[in-house]
Amino acid sequence: NYSLAQLQQIDAAHHLHPFTDSKELREAGSRVIAHAQGPYIYDTEGFELLDGMAGLWCVNVGYGRDELAEVAAQQMKELPYYNSFFKCSTPTPILLAKKLAELAPRHINQVFYGSSGSEANDTALRLVRHYWALEGKPEKNRIISRTMAYHGSTVAGTSLGGMAGMHSQLGGAVPNIVHVMMPYAYELKLPGESDHEFGLRAAKAVEDAILEAGADKVAAFIGEPIMGAGGVKIPPESYWPEVQRICRKHDVLLMLDEVITGYGRTGEWFAATTFGIEPDTITTAKALTSGYQPLSALLVGDRIANTLVEKGGEFYHGYTYSGHPVACAVALKNLEIIEREGLVERVKSDTGPYFAKALRERIAPHPLVGEVRSVGLMGAIEIVKEKATRERFSPEGSAAVTVRDHAIAAGLMMRATGDTMILSPPLIWTREIIDMACDRILKALDLAEADLRK
Binding site for ligand PLP (CB under 6 A): 56, 116-118, 121, 150-152, 224, 228-229, 257, 259-260, 285
- Output 152 or 267, the one with its CB closest to ligand PLP: 152
- Output 56 or 452, the one with its CB closest to ligand PLP: 56
Tell the smallest beta-carbon distance from residue 417 to ligand PLP (Å): 11
Tell the smallest beta-carbon distance from residue 285 to ligand PLP (Å): 5
- Calpha distance 248→257 (Å, rounded): 18
- Calpha distance 119→186 (Å, rounded): 32
Per the rule left: phi > 0, alpha: psi between -120 and 50, beta: everything else, 102 is alpha
Q: Tell me phi and psi for residue 111, to 5 degrees.
A: -135, 135
Look at strands 218-223 and 253-257 and give their pairing.
parallel
- Output 327 or 399, the one with its CB closest to ligand PLP: 327
Tell the smallest beta-carbon distance from residue 259 to ligand PLP (Å): 4
- Output 260 or 381, the one with its CB closest to ligand PLP: 260
Tell the smallest beta-carbon distance from residue 38 to ligand PLP (Å): 23
- Output 114 or 370, the one with its CB closest to ligand PLP: 114
Tell the smallest beta-carbon distance from residue 144 to ligand PLP (Å): 16
- Output 8 or 145, the one with its CB closest to ligand PLP: 145
Tell the smallest beta-carbon distance from residue 192 to ligand PLP (Å): 32
- Output 260 or 282, the one with its CB closest to ligand PLP: 260
Tell the smallest beta-carbon distance from residue 230 to ligand PLP (Å): 9
β-sheet with 253-257: strand ranges across: 108-114, 296-301, 281-284, 253-257, 218-223, 142-146, 177-180
Tell the smallest beta-carbon distance from residue 158 to ligand PLP (Å): 10
Strand pairing partners for 297?
113, 284
- Calpha distance 154→136 (Å, rounded): 28
- Output 162 or 228, the one with its CB closest to ligand PLP: 228
35-60 as b/e: b if 16+ CB within 10 A: ebebbbbeeeeeeebbbbbbbbbbbb
Tell the smallest beta-carbon distance from residue 156 to ligand PLP (Å): 11
- Calpha distance 82→93 (Å, rounded): 11
Considering only CA atoms, which of 415, 418, 405 is closest in space to residue 445? 405
Considering only CA atoms, which of 41, 31, 33, 32 is closest in space to residue 64? 41
DSSP string over 54-92: HHHHT-TT-B--HHHHHHHHHHHHH-S-----TT---HH
Strand pairing partners for 222?
255
- Calpha distance 433→437 (Å, rounded): 6
- Output 56 or 101, the one with its CB closest to ligand PLP: 56
* Residue 395, preceding peptide bond in cis (omega within 30° of 0): yes
- Residue closest to ligand PLP when measured from CB atoms: 117
